[in-house]
Amino acid sequence: MCGIAGWLGHLMEGAHYAKRLARALHHRGPDAHGIELWTDATLVHTRLSIIDLSRTGAQPMSNETGTVWVVFNGEIYNHRELRQGLEARGHVFRGHSDTEVIPHLYEEEGVACIAKLRGMFALAIYDTCSHTLVLARDRFGIKPLFYTLGDRCLAFASEIRALLELPGIDTEPDRQAIYDYAALFYIPTPATFYRGIRSLQPGEVLEAHLSDNRVQFRTRIYHCWEVAPDPGMTLNHAVERTDELLTAAVERQMESEVPLGALLSGGIDSSLVSVAAQSTLTGRLRTFNARFADAAYDETWAAVAVAEHIASDHRTLDMGQTRGTWDDITDLLLHAGQPFADTSLFAVSAVCQLMRQHVTVALSGDGGDEGFGGYNSYWQIARISQWQTIPAPIWRVASRALGMLAPLRVVPSRLPQRLKELAGADDTTIIQGLLSWVREDEQRQLCHDTDLLPVRRLFESQWQYHLSSRSSRLDRLAAQITEVNTRLTLPNDFLFKVDTASMRSSLEVRVPMLDEDLFAFALSLPYRLKVTGRTCKRVLRTVAERRLPPLVASKPKKGFGVPVDTWVDGDFKERLKETLLSPSSRLSEFFRPETYRPLVEAFCNGQPHPYVSREGLYQRVTMLLSLHLALYPATRQAPRYPAEIASSVALSARSLMN
């Protein structure tokens, strides 16, 4: 795992800015730094050494002739098979890192080589003969990659904050991105918070060419998933095949020359990954979890039960002994590089800091819910689909009756309006309502802008669904919600969160549940093998019955998060209220203060909000805080490192230029 950056084109004082990029990405790769400079391009790499710890694993890395260069972040899990094929064609390798297959594979197949790579990655290839830069991101978006186009160069980096080190970037806020963020609490690709910076999308490749001192580029999607349920598949076959594919996926991802462990949260997915990982080892797997004082958030009992079941070397981080301070929370939100409001970031970051004291590589259970149907929304679509068969007159009577009960607090205040919305809702509206933090009516009340693209566009289907003629509306809903969870929420929220938190601590996190073969098989499962009643993830739960303690295999799903309202200290709430409600806050440029003021006051005063749940309240307040921080240039500076780090980068650059 590493940090990568660079540019194609011409940038004055290139060596100076290359060093600044390396410093800004030091936390992603503290073990070594490398810079390769040409008159029309630059590649920068900061290394977290995992495979081939010797100098032959250093980057930027080239082919035998030095005509193709690469910087790479991630892991290629099929690099050994690719290497064998390349050696058979006469290619000569200097070391045994996975990165080294990339320049040789590019020699053979050009940009088409990207589709041959299996794993998690963000990469840049520079072809010195054609003056071409190729950027690519893995199929799921596990690893991030951002880019910006200036007058004379196209620059890229693993993190937005690194790109802000370069001159001439349009850093005006993107109003459409902020509008989307107000509903989703994350910014969807390809947009970012800044008008001048874009994000490469999952499964996307960018080709840039330098001609007449001008950079021209184009992007294309090289991989798009397809949903093709097999209506004849049996539960037994699905369970056997899933067990087999998961075991193989974990085994492929165990390669490491540094200490490796597993984030054992207590959930089914991380538990199954830990069981499979322990089975490949002769020694004890190191496992880790976080304990919360609030029982509604804590699954330590399950994590410990699994650890004892597999005899792992287990450690628990007690979050009850720490409090969320203003400095810690704002530093972490700023580190994300753009507004981001998934509060489970705080818990993930804390666990990653603990794990990094013991291991450099960690396995996690992320990605199991998307393909196998693990979220509550998968059973909720069945209920809504059934409700919509009720005749319209009955809906109207029920809505009026509930409307009379709502003021008495017998039913949730928003329920009558919600019933009206669902009565005639189409598939996209249903899914948007289930997966957005803020619905359209609340978003309109909050945001000043009224002439922007609707958030609905992000929830409309873009994948191909191969459904049989006997497929029901529920089958189509299940296909679309699987797509949206995978295409939209997974890369922009969950994977972005894990990368932000883990790489801040120089920890590589791998996600076996997102193995290409395993995920493709999950997309072939019919709805009845994903959900039964209100029980989701039917196939993985059946695998769990074979592999895990019974109480763990049967327990309901619980998200990995932190109870922000009770975890933060008193000073945080005081400063939050003072900051967000200050007349000098730029929030009022985008949001209406009369709408967000009651949210801030309810959270800071420890009072319930009449229309928003406890979790919804602290998520909304975090959304406001993260945007506020991003709107102030003084808070966006990349971190500065000691002089010895700066000098090591300079030495690396000089040695590569000699």
List the CATH number of the domain containing 349: 3.40.50.620
pLDDT of res. 180: 98
Asked whether residue 524 falls in the same domain as residue 604, the answer is no
Q: Which domain holds residue 580?
A: 569-635
What is the pLDDT averaged over residues 183-199? 97
Claim: this prediction has a pTM higher than 0.85: yes
Contacts for 303 with CB less than 8 Å, ≥ 6 apart: 264, 265, 266, 271, 287, 289, 314, 316
What is the pLDDT averaged over residues 452-465? 96
pLDDT of res. 413: 63
Q: Is residue 502 part of a domain?
A: yes
Check if the beta carbon of residue 1 is closer than 8 Å to that of residue 28: yes
Sheet architecture: strand order including 198-199 = 32-37, 41-47, 2-9, 153-157, 146-149, 198-199
Q: Which CATH number goes with the domain that contains 199?
A: 3.60.20.10
Asked whether residue 209 falls in the same domain as residue 256, the answer is no
Asked whether residue 202 falls in the same domain as residue 252, the answer is no
Asked whether residue 238 falls in the same domain as residue 211, the answer is no
What is the pLDDT averaged over residues 231-244? 97
Radius of gyration in angstroms for the set of CA atoms belonging to the chain, rounded to a whole number: 25
Give the span between the Cα atoms of 135 and 146, in whole angstroms.
10
Where does a domain end: 564, 581, 613?
564
Check if the beta carbon of residue 624 is closer than 8 Å to that of residue 598: no
Q: Is residue 229 part of a domain?
A: no
Closest to 491 measured CA to CA, from 164, 195, 199, 158: 199
Asked whether residue 280 falls in the same domain as residue 239, the answer is yes
With bands split at pLDDT 50, 70 and 90, how would you rate the model's confidence at 654? very low
Check if the beta carbon of residue 265 is closer than 8 Å to that of residue 558: no
Q: Is residue 102 part of a domain?
A: yes
Q: Is residue 172 part of a domain?
A: yes
Strand 508-510 and strand 260-263: pairing? unpaired
Asked whether residue 139 falls in the same domain as residue 161, the answer is yes
Domains: count for the chain: 3
Asked whether residue 534 falls in the same domain as residue 574, the answer is no
Taking only the tens place, the pLDDT of each residue in 545-561 is 999 999 999 988 877 77
Give the span between the Cα atoms of 295 and 602, in whole angstroms.
23
**Per-residue pLDDT for 294 more than 90?**
no
Asked whether residue 26 falls in the same domain as residue 98, the answer is yes
What is the pLDDT averaged over residues 519-543? 95
**Per-residue pLDDT for 334 more than 90?**
yes
DSSP string, 197-212: -EEPPTTEEEEEEEET
Who has greater pLDDT, 346 or 472? 346
With bands split at pLDDT 50, 70 and 90, how would you rate the model's confidence at 416? low
Asked whether residue 574 falls in the same domain as residue 557, the answer is no
Asked whether residue 542 falls in the same domain as residue 557, the answer is yes
Backbone dihedral region for residue 168 (phi beyond 0: left; psi -120 to 50: alpha; all else: beta):
left
Q: Is residue 417 part of a domain?
A: no
Query: First-to-last CA distance in the chain?
Result: 27
Closest to 24 measured CA to CA, from 163, 206, 208: 163
With bands split at pLDDT 50, 70 and 90, how would you rate the model's confidence at 450? confident
Q: Is residue 403 part of a domain?
A: no
Alpha helices in 388-472 (DSSP H): 392-405, 415-423, 427-435, 440-446
Q: Is residue 602 part of a domain?
A: yes
Where does a domain end: 185, 201, 224?
224
**Per-residue pLDDT for 638 more than 50?**
no
Backbone dihedral region for residue 266 (phi beyond 0: left; psi -120 to 50: alpha; all else: beta):
left
Q: Is residue 465 part of a domain?
A: no
Asked whether residue 8 falls in the same domain as residue 57, the answer is yes
pLDDT of res. 644: 42
Mean per-residue pLDDT of the chain:
91
- Least confidently predicted of 50-59, 199-208, 338-347: 50-59
**Per-residue pLDDT for 203 more than 70?**
yes
Asked whether residue 301 falls in the same domain as residue 245, the answer is yes
- Least confidently predicted of 191-195, 200-204, 629-633: 629-633
With bands split at pLDDT 50, 70 and 90, how would you rate the model's confidence at 562? confident
The overall longest dimension of the chain from CA atoms, in Å, is: 81
Where does a domain end: 224, 248, 264?
224
